[in-house]
A and B are shown apart, each in its own frame.
Chain A
Amino acid sequence: MSRETTSSVPKATTTDEFIKGLWRENPVFVQVLGMCPVLAVSNTAENALAMGLATAFVLLMSNILVSLLRDFIPKQVRIASYILIIATFVTVTDYAIQAISVELYKSLGAFISLIVVNCLILSRAEAFASKNTVWKSTLDALGMGAGFTFALFCLGAVREILGNGSIFEWALFPEGFQNWIVMILPAGGFFTLAGWLLIINVIQTRKVKS
Protein backbone atom coordinates (compact mmCIF):
# COMPACT_ATOMS: atom_id res chain seq x y z
CA MET A 1 0.00 0.00 0.00
CA SER A 2 2.77 2.36 0.90
CA ARG A 3 4.38 1.91 -2.50
CA GLU A 4 1.29 3.07 -4.34
CA THR A 5 0.87 6.21 -2.30
CA THR A 6 4.48 7.33 -2.30
CA SER A 7 5.54 6.71 -5.88
CA SER A 8 2.67 8.28 -7.73
CA VAL A 9 2.71 11.99 -7.13
CA PRO A 10 0.10 13.56 -9.37
CA LYS A 11 0.08 17.23 -10.21
CA ALA A 12 -0.44 18.66 -6.77
CA THR A 13 -1.90 21.96 -5.72
CA THR A 14 -0.08 23.90 -3.02
CA THR A 15 -2.41 22.85 -0.23
CA ASP A 16 -1.89 19.28 -1.38
CA GLU A 17 1.83 19.63 -0.70
CA PHE A 18 0.98 20.36 2.90
CA ILE A 19 -1.81 17.82 3.39
CA LYS A 20 0.04 14.86 1.88
CA GLY A 21 2.57 14.71 4.71
CA LEU A 22 -0.16 14.58 7.31
CA TRP A 23 -1.95 11.53 6.04
CA ARG A 24 -1.49 10.13 2.52
CA GLU A 25 2.32 10.13 2.73
CA ASN A 26 2.74 10.32 6.48
CA PRO A 27 6.47 9.84 7.09
CA VAL A 28 5.98 7.38 9.96
CA PHE A 29 2.73 5.55 9.29
CA VAL A 30 2.99 5.29 5.51
CA GLN A 31 6.61 5.80 4.46
CA VAL A 32 7.95 4.24 7.71
CA LEU A 33 10.95 6.59 7.71
CA GLY A 34 13.10 7.72 10.62
CA MET A 35 12.29 4.79 12.85
CA CYS A 36 15.21 5.35 15.24
CA PRO A 37 13.79 8.41 17.03
CA VAL A 38 10.22 7.16 16.55
CA LEU A 39 10.92 4.07 18.63
CA ALA A 40 13.45 5.55 21.01
CA VAL A 41 12.06 8.89 22.09
CA SER A 42 8.33 8.19 22.09
CA ASN A 43 8.23 6.90 25.68
CA THR A 44 6.30 9.93 26.94
CA ALA A 45 3.99 12.37 25.22
CA GLU A 46 6.23 15.30 26.12
CA ASN A 47 9.40 13.71 24.74
CA ALA A 48 7.59 12.67 21.57
CA LEU A 49 6.21 16.14 21.00
CA ALA A 50 9.57 17.81 21.62
CA MET A 51 11.37 15.39 19.34
CA GLY A 52 8.74 15.82 16.63
CA LEU A 53 8.96 19.60 16.78
CA ALA A 54 12.77 19.57 16.78
CA THR A 55 12.78 17.33 13.71
CA ALA A 56 10.12 19.45 12.02
CA PHE A 57 12.18 22.59 12.60
CA VAL A 58 15.32 21.03 11.12
CA LEU A 59 13.27 19.69 8.20
CA LEU A 60 11.74 23.09 7.51
CA MET A 61 15.01 25.02 7.66
CA SER A 62 16.97 22.52 5.61
CA ASN A 63 14.22 22.24 3.00
CA ILE A 64 14.15 26.01 2.61
CA LEU A 65 17.92 26.31 2.31
CA VAL A 66 18.30 23.33 -0.02
CA SER A 67 15.57 24.71 -2.22
CA LEU A 68 17.17 28.18 -2.25
CA LEU A 69 20.55 26.75 -3.18
CA ARG A 70 19.25 24.14 -5.62
CA ASP A 71 20.83 25.84 -8.64
CA PHE A 72 24.02 26.58 -6.76
CA ILE A 73 24.85 23.05 -5.57
CA PRO A 74 26.38 20.81 -8.27
CA LYS A 75 24.92 17.33 -8.50
CA GLN A 76 28.22 15.65 -7.58
CA VAL A 77 28.48 17.19 -4.13
CA ARG A 78 24.79 17.42 -3.31
CA ILE A 79 24.64 14.73 -0.61
CA ALA A 80 27.62 16.21 1.24
CA SER A 81 26.06 19.66 0.98
CA TYR A 82 22.68 18.49 2.22
CA ILE A 83 24.22 16.70 5.19
CA LEU A 84 26.22 19.80 6.03
CA ILE A 85 23.10 21.95 5.91
CA ILE A 86 21.11 19.47 8.00
CA ALA A 87 23.90 19.07 10.55
CA THR A 88 24.10 22.83 10.94
CA PHE A 89 20.44 23.17 11.83
CA VAL A 90 20.60 20.14 14.12
CA THR A 91 23.43 21.79 16.06
CA VAL A 92 21.47 25.01 16.28
CA THR A 93 18.44 23.07 17.53
CA ASP A 94 20.61 21.26 20.05
CA TYR A 95 21.74 24.57 21.57
CA ALA A 96 18.21 25.93 21.46
CA ILE A 97 16.80 22.96 23.38
CA GLN A 98 19.54 23.29 26.00
CA ALA A 99 18.55 26.90 26.42
CA ILE A 100 14.86 26.02 26.71
CA SER A 101 15.06 23.34 29.39
CA VAL A 102 17.83 21.27 30.96
CA GLU A 103 15.34 18.53 31.87
CA LEU A 104 14.07 18.20 28.31
CA TYR A 105 17.60 18.18 26.94
CA LYS A 106 18.52 15.36 29.32
CA SER A 107 15.54 13.21 28.41
CA LEU A 108 16.05 13.62 24.66
CA GLY A 109 19.77 12.98 25.08
CA ALA A 110 21.74 11.77 22.10
CA PHE A 111 18.67 11.62 19.88
CA ILE A 112 18.82 15.31 19.09
CA SER A 113 22.22 14.92 17.44
CA LEU A 114 20.93 11.84 15.66
CA ILE A 115 18.39 13.96 13.77
CA VAL A 116 21.32 14.53 11.35
CA VAL A 117 20.94 10.99 10.08
CA ASN A 118 17.14 10.92 10.13
CA CYS A 119 16.42 9.67 6.63
CA LEU A 120 13.16 11.61 6.51
CA ILE A 121 15.03 14.91 6.31
CA LEU A 122 17.60 13.81 3.76
CA SER A 123 14.92 12.17 1.64
CA ARG A 124 12.84 15.36 1.56
CA ALA A 125 15.92 17.36 0.58
CA GLU A 126 16.85 14.93 -2.17
CA ALA A 127 13.39 14.02 -3.42
CA PHE A 128 11.59 17.31 -3.05
CA ALA A 129 13.44 20.46 -2.05
CA SER A 130 16.20 20.06 -4.63
CA LYS A 131 13.61 20.01 -7.43
CA ASN A 132 10.95 22.45 -6.25
CA THR A 133 10.47 26.11 -5.45
CA VAL A 134 11.07 27.52 -1.99
CA TRP A 135 7.36 28.04 -1.38
CA LYS A 136 6.47 24.46 -2.29
CA SER A 137 9.39 23.08 -0.27
CA THR A 138 8.29 25.07 2.75
CA LEU A 139 4.80 23.63 2.53
CA ASP A 140 6.18 20.15 1.99
CA ALA A 141 8.41 20.48 5.07
CA LEU A 142 5.58 21.86 7.18
CA GLY A 143 3.31 19.01 6.16
CA MET A 144 5.90 16.30 6.64
CA GLY A 145 7.06 17.84 9.91
CA ALA A 146 3.52 18.03 11.21
CA GLY A 147 2.88 14.46 10.09
CA PHE A 148 6.01 13.25 11.84
CA THR A 149 5.16 15.14 15.03
CA PHE A 150 1.59 13.85 14.92
CA ALA A 151 2.78 10.25 14.51
CA LEU A 152 5.32 10.54 17.31
CA PHE A 153 2.68 12.05 19.56
CA CYS A 154 0.29 9.18 18.78
CA LEU A 155 2.95 6.73 19.92
CA GLY A 156 4.12 8.76 22.88
CA ALA A 157 0.62 9.33 24.23
CA VAL A 158 -0.32 5.64 24.11
CA ARG A 159 2.99 4.59 25.67
CA GLU A 160 2.79 7.13 28.47
CA ILE A 161 -0.86 6.37 29.27
CA LEU A 162 -0.27 2.62 29.49
CA GLY A 163 3.29 2.60 30.77
CA ASN A 164 3.14 5.41 33.27
CA GLY A 165 -0.59 5.87 33.85
CA SER A 166 -0.38 9.53 32.92
CA ILE A 167 -0.45 12.02 30.07
CA PHE A 168 1.98 14.98 30.12
CA GLU A 169 2.85 13.75 33.63
CA TRP A 170 -0.79 14.21 34.62
CA ALA A 171 -1.92 11.10 36.51
CA LEU A 172 -4.92 9.55 34.77
CA PHE A 173 -5.72 6.48 36.79
CA PRO A 174 -6.57 5.93 40.45
CA GLU A 175 -3.89 4.84 42.89
CA GLY A 176 -4.14 1.05 42.30
CA PHE A 177 -3.35 1.10 38.58
CA GLN A 178 -0.50 -1.23 37.72
CA ASN A 179 1.64 0.42 35.04
CA TRP A 180 2.54 -1.67 32.01
CA ILE A 181 6.23 -1.01 32.38
CA VAL A 182 6.97 -2.81 29.11
CA MET A 183 5.30 0.04 27.23
CA ILE A 184 7.96 2.58 28.20
CA LEU A 185 10.75 0.12 27.51
CA PRO A 186 12.01 -0.27 23.91
CA ALA A 187 9.74 -3.28 23.29
CA GLY A 188 6.69 -1.10 23.96
CA GLY A 189 7.74 1.16 21.09
CA PHE A 190 7.49 -1.73 18.66
CA PHE A 191 4.14 -2.88 20.06
CA THR A 192 2.64 0.59 19.83
CA LEU A 193 4.00 1.24 16.34
CA ALA A 194 2.62 -2.12 15.17
CA GLY A 195 -0.76 -1.27 16.66
CA TRP A 196 -0.95 2.10 14.91
CA LEU A 197 0.23 0.67 11.59
CA LEU A 198 -2.47 -1.99 11.86
CA ILE A 199 -5.18 0.59 12.49
CA ILE A 200 -4.02 2.88 9.69
CA ASN A 201 -3.70 0.04 7.20
CA VAL A 202 -7.19 -1.20 8.00
CA ILE A 203 -8.58 2.27 7.38
CA GLN A 204 -6.64 2.65 4.12
CA THR A 205 -7.67 -0.74 2.71
CA ARG A 206 -11.32 -0.06 3.56
CA LYS A 207 -11.07 3.23 1.69
CA VAL A 208 -9.60 1.52 -1.36
CA LYS A 209 -12.29 -1.16 -1.36
CA SER A 210 -15.17 1.27 -1.12
Chain B
Amino acid sequence: MRTTAHTPKQEGTSSAKMLRAMLGIGILSAFLIVSAFELTLPRVEKLKAEALEKAVFNVLPGTESTRSFGINSQGKIIEIAKGDTPEYTLYAGYDKDEKLVGYAVEASGQGYADLIRILYGYNPKEQVLIGFQVLESKETPGLGDKIEKEERFLENFKALDVRVTSEGLLRNKVITVKQGEKQNAWEIDGITGATISSRAIGNIIGSSTTEVVPVLRRHSLKMDGAKPLEKQAESNE
Protein backbone atom coordinates (compact mmCIF):
# COMPACT_ATOMS: atom_id res chain seq x y z
CA MET B 1 0.00 0.00 0.00
CA ARG B 2 2.92 2.36 -0.44
CA THR B 3 1.53 4.82 -2.94
CA THR B 4 3.50 7.95 -2.20
CA ALA B 5 2.83 9.94 -5.32
CA HIS B 6 5.70 10.94 -7.58
CA THR B 7 3.77 11.52 -10.76
CA PRO B 8 0.37 13.11 -11.23
CA LYS B 9 -0.96 9.87 -12.69
CA GLN B 10 -0.22 7.94 -9.51
CA GLU B 11 -1.76 10.65 -7.41
CA GLY B 12 -4.97 10.29 -9.36
CA THR B 13 -5.21 6.58 -8.78
CA SER B 14 -4.36 6.94 -5.11
CA SER B 15 -7.07 9.49 -4.38
CA ALA B 16 -9.59 7.30 -6.18
CA LYS B 17 -8.45 4.46 -3.95
CA MET B 18 -8.81 6.59 -0.85
CA LEU B 19 -12.30 7.60 -1.82
CA ARG B 20 -13.22 4.03 -2.62
CA ALA B 21 -11.91 2.78 0.70
CA MET B 22 -13.65 5.44 2.80
CA LEU B 23 -16.92 5.09 0.89
CA GLY B 24 -16.84 1.33 1.08
CA ILE B 25 -16.23 1.32 4.80
CA GLY B 26 -18.87 4.00 5.28
CA ILE B 27 -21.52 1.99 3.48
CA LEU B 28 -20.59 -1.16 5.36
CA SER B 29 -20.77 0.74 8.67
CA ALA B 30 -24.13 2.26 7.85
CA PHE B 31 -25.50 -1.15 6.96
CA LEU B 32 -24.21 -2.75 10.17
CA ILE B 33 -25.46 0.01 12.44
CA VAL B 34 -28.92 0.22 10.93
CA SER B 35 -29.44 -3.53 11.03
CA ALA B 36 -28.23 -3.72 14.64
CA PHE B 37 -30.65 -0.94 15.56
CA GLU B 38 -33.58 -2.59 13.79
CA LEU B 39 -32.82 -5.98 15.30
CA THR B 40 -32.57 -4.79 18.90
CA LEU B 41 -35.35 -2.16 18.84
CA PRO B 42 -38.33 -4.41 19.73
CA ARG B 43 -36.51 -6.00 22.65
CA VAL B 44 -35.15 -2.69 23.95
CA GLU B 45 -38.64 -1.21 23.93
CA LYS B 46 -40.06 -4.27 25.63
CA LEU B 47 -37.40 -4.16 28.37
CA LYS B 48 -37.97 -0.45 28.97
CA ALA B 49 -41.72 -0.90 29.24
CA GLU B 50 -41.24 -3.83 31.61
CA ALA B 51 -38.90 -1.82 33.83
CA LEU B 52 -41.41 1.02 34.00
CA GLU B 53 -44.28 -1.32 34.77
CA LYS B 54 -42.26 -2.88 37.57
CA ALA B 55 -41.63 0.59 38.98
CA VAL B 56 -45.35 1.42 38.86
CA PHE B 57 -46.18 -1.82 40.69
CA ASN B 58 -43.57 -0.89 43.26
CA VAL B 59 -44.88 2.61 44.04
CA LEU B 60 -48.54 1.52 43.99
CA PRO B 61 -48.63 -1.62 46.15
CA GLY B 62 -51.44 -3.98 45.20
CA THR B 63 -51.58 -2.92 41.56
CA GLU B 64 -52.38 -5.58 38.99
CA SER B 65 -52.76 -3.57 35.80
CA THR B 66 -51.83 -0.09 34.63
CA ARG B 67 -52.85 2.47 32.05
CA SER B 68 -50.91 5.55 31.08
CA PHE B 69 -52.29 9.06 30.85
CA GLY B 70 -50.97 12.56 30.42
CA ILE B 71 -51.80 15.95 31.84
CA ASN B 72 -51.77 18.66 29.20
CA SER B 73 -50.86 22.32 29.68
CA GLN B 74 -54.48 23.23 30.56
CA GLY B 75 -54.45 20.83 33.50
CA LYS B 76 -56.71 18.28 31.82
CA ILE B 77 -56.15 14.57 31.94
CA ILE B 78 -55.75 13.14 28.46
CA GLU B 79 -55.04 9.80 26.91
CA ILE B 80 -51.64 9.64 25.32
CA ALA B 81 -51.57 8.92 21.63
CA LYS B 82 -48.31 7.97 19.96
CA GLY B 83 -45.98 10.94 19.60
CA ASP B 84 -47.74 13.08 22.23
CA THR B 85 -45.62 14.86 24.80
CA PRO B 86 -47.84 15.87 27.71
CA GLU B 87 -46.65 18.15 30.52
CA TYR B 88 -46.77 15.22 32.94
CA THR B 89 -47.00 11.51 32.35
CA LEU B 90 -48.86 9.41 34.84
CA TYR B 91 -49.96 5.84 35.23
CA ALA B 92 -53.19 4.78 36.86
CA GLY B 93 -52.87 1.50 38.75
CA TYR B 94 -55.82 -0.85 39.28
CA ASP B 95 -56.13 -3.81 41.62
CA LYS B 96 -57.67 -7.23 40.92
CA ASP B 97 -61.22 -5.87 40.94
CA GLU B 98 -60.37 -3.05 38.51
CA LYS B 99 -60.54 -0.57 41.37
CA LEU B 100 -58.20 2.38 41.29
CA VAL B 101 -55.24 1.96 43.64
CA GLY B 102 -53.72 5.29 42.81
CA TYR B 103 -51.66 7.20 40.31
CA ALA B 104 -47.96 6.86 39.64
CA VAL B 105 -46.46 10.15 38.53
CA GLU B 106 -43.12 10.66 36.84
CA ALA B 107 -41.08 13.71 37.87
CA SER B 108 -37.54 14.92 37.51
CA GLY B 109 -35.21 17.62 38.77
CA GLN B 110 -31.61 18.56 39.34
CA GLY B 111 -29.73 16.42 41.83
CA TYR B 112 -26.14 16.70 43.00
CA ALA B 113 -24.55 15.05 39.96
CA ASP B 114 -27.17 15.16 37.25
CA LEU B 115 -30.88 15.08 36.62
CA ILE B 116 -32.75 12.69 38.94
CA ARG B 117 -35.83 10.99 37.51
CA ILE B 118 -38.30 9.58 40.02
CA LEU B 119 -41.71 7.96 40.16
CA TYR B 120 -44.08 8.44 43.08
CA GLY B 121 -47.41 6.88 43.92
CA TYR B 122 -50.40 9.01 44.94
CA ASN B 123 -53.50 7.68 46.62
CA PRO B 124 -56.31 10.21 45.94
CA LYS B 125 -58.68 8.65 48.48
CA GLU B 126 -56.35 9.03 51.46
CA GLN B 127 -54.60 12.04 49.95
CA VAL B 128 -51.15 10.69 50.65
CA LEU B 129 -48.14 9.54 48.70
CA ILE B 130 -47.79 5.80 49.13
CA GLY B 131 -44.62 4.94 47.25
CA PHE B 132 -41.46 6.31 45.76
CA GLN B 133 -38.72 5.04 43.48
CA VAL B 134 -35.72 6.56 41.76
CA LEU B 135 -35.87 5.73 38.06
CA GLU B 136 -32.58 7.27 37.05
CA SER B 137 -29.83 9.05 38.94
CA LYS B 138 -26.08 9.52 38.81
CA GLU B 139 -25.69 10.49 42.47
CA THR B 140 -22.38 9.67 44.17
CA PRO B 141 -22.16 5.96 45.01
CA GLY B 142 -22.11 5.37 48.74
CA LEU B 143 -23.31 8.88 49.59
CA GLY B 144 -25.95 10.48 47.38
CA ASP B 145 -27.29 7.17 46.15
CA LYS B 146 -28.64 6.47 49.64
CA ILE B 147 -31.83 8.12 48.36
CA GLU B 148 -32.41 4.94 46.35
CA LYS B 149 -31.80 2.31 49.00
CA GLU B 150 -31.87 3.62 52.57
CA GLU B 151 -34.85 2.05 54.31
CA ARG B 152 -35.29 4.89 56.76
CA PHE B 153 -35.52 7.42 53.93
CA LEU B 154 -37.95 5.32 51.90
CA GLU B 155 -40.18 5.04 55.02
CA ASN B 156 -40.99 8.72 54.41
CA PHE B 157 -43.04 7.84 51.38
CA LYS B 158 -45.38 5.29 52.94
CA ALA B 159 -47.84 8.03 53.95
CA LEU B 160 -46.61 11.46 52.96
CA ASP B 161 -49.31 14.07 53.48
CA VAL B 162 -50.38 15.88 50.28
CA ARG B 163 -53.86 17.05 51.31
CA VAL B 164 -55.66 19.57 49.10
CA THR B 165 -57.53 22.59 50.49
CA SER B 166 -61.13 23.38 49.59
CA GLU B 167 -59.83 25.96 47.09
CA GLY B 168 -58.13 23.12 45.25
CA LEU B 169 -54.58 23.95 46.20
CA LEU B 170 -52.00 21.84 47.99
CA ARG B 171 -52.25 22.58 51.72
CA ASN B 172 -48.60 22.02 52.58
CA LYS B 173 -45.81 21.81 50.09
CA VAL B 174 -43.61 18.74 50.60
CA ILE B 175 -40.18 19.66 51.91
CA THR B 176 -37.06 17.84 53.10
CA VAL B 177 -35.90 18.59 56.64
CA LYS B 178 -32.67 17.67 58.44
CA GLN B 179 -32.33 14.08 59.55
CA GLY B 180 -34.30 13.50 62.76
CA GLU B 181 -36.19 16.79 62.63
CA LYS B 182 -39.33 15.58 60.89
CA GLN B 183 -42.37 16.88 62.78
CA ASN B 184 -45.19 17.07 60.28
CA ALA B 185 -46.65 14.45 57.98
CA TRP B 186 -45.70 16.46 54.88
CA GLU B 187 -42.02 16.65 55.74
CA ILE B 188 -39.38 14.27 54.43
CA ASP B 189 -36.78 13.17 56.95
CA GLY B 190 -33.49 13.85 55.17
CA ILE B 191 -30.23 11.90 55.13
CA THR B 192 -27.02 13.12 56.73
CA GLY B 193 -24.32 12.43 54.15
CA ALA B 194 -26.74 12.83 51.27
CA THR B 195 -28.02 16.27 52.17
CA ILE B 196 -28.18 17.68 48.65
CA SER B 197 -29.61 14.56 47.07
CA SER B 198 -32.32 14.11 49.70
CA ARG B 199 -33.18 17.79 49.49
CA ALA B 200 -33.40 17.46 45.71
CA ILE B 201 -35.96 14.67 46.15
CA GLY B 202 -37.98 17.00 48.39
CA ASN B 203 -37.87 19.73 45.76
CA ILE B 204 -38.81 17.42 42.92
CA ILE B 205 -41.77 15.96 44.81
CA GLY B 206 -42.69 19.38 46.19
CA SER B 207 -42.96 21.11 42.85
CA SER B 208 -44.50 18.14 41.06
CA THR B 209 -47.20 17.51 43.67
CA THR B 210 -48.10 21.20 43.81
CA GLU B 211 -49.13 21.00 40.18
CA VAL B 212 -50.28 17.44 39.70
CA VAL B 213 -52.00 16.47 42.95
CA PRO B 214 -54.76 19.14 42.81
CA VAL B 215 -55.60 18.06 39.26
CA LEU B 216 -55.76 14.40 40.21
CA ARG B 217 -57.78 15.16 43.35
CA ARG B 218 -60.29 17.22 41.43
CA HIS B 219 -60.52 14.49 38.88
CA SER B 220 -61.07 11.71 41.39
CA LEU B 221 -63.71 13.77 43.25
CA LYS B 222 -65.56 14.29 40.02
CA MET B 223 -65.31 10.57 39.41
CA ASP B 224 -66.90 9.99 42.83
CA GLY B 225 -63.95 8.39 44.48
CA ALA B 226 -62.36 5.49 42.80
CA LYS B 227 -63.88 4.64 39.44
CA PRO B 228 -61.41 3.74 36.74
CA LEU B 229 -60.09 6.56 34.65
CA GLU B 230 -61.01 5.11 31.28
CA LYS B 231 -64.73 5.65 31.94
CA GLN B 232 -64.03 9.36 32.05
CA ALA B 233 -62.08 9.24 28.84
CA GLU B 234 -64.90 7.41 27.10
CA SER B 235 -67.60 9.80 28.31
CA ASN B 236 -65.57 12.70 27.00
CA GLU B 237 -65.73 11.42 23.50
Contacts and interface: CB of A to CB of B under 8 A. Distances in A.
- A, B co-complexed: yes
B110 to A, nearest CB: 18
A73 B1 contact: yes
* Size category of the binding interface on chain B: 20 to 34
Interface stretch (A13-21, A80-88, A116-124, A132-140): A80-88
A28 B205 CA distance: 44
Contacts, number: 77
A81 B29 CA distance: 10
B223 interface: no
Interface of A: 43, 69-77, 80-81, 84-85, 87-89, 91-92, 95-96, 98-99, 101-103, 106, 109, 163, 179, 181, 184-185
Q: Which 10 A-B pairs have the closest CB atoms?
A: A181-B142, A88-B29, A99-B40, A92-B36, A95-B40, A99-B43, A184-B141, A98-B44, A77-B18, A95-B36
B231 interface: no
A101 B36 CA distance: 16
Given A73-B25, A91-B36, A98-B44, 7 more contacts: A73-B1, A77-B21, A88-B29, A89-B32, A99-B44, A185-B140, A185-B142
Identify whether the interface residues of B are mostly helix, strand, loop, or mixed: helix
A88 B32 contact: yes
A74 B21 contact: yes
B62 to A, nearest CB: 25
B142 A72 contact: no
B36 A69 contact: no
Given A181-B143, A184-B141, A185-B140, A72 B24 contact: yes
Contact of B21 (A81, A92, A98, A184): A81
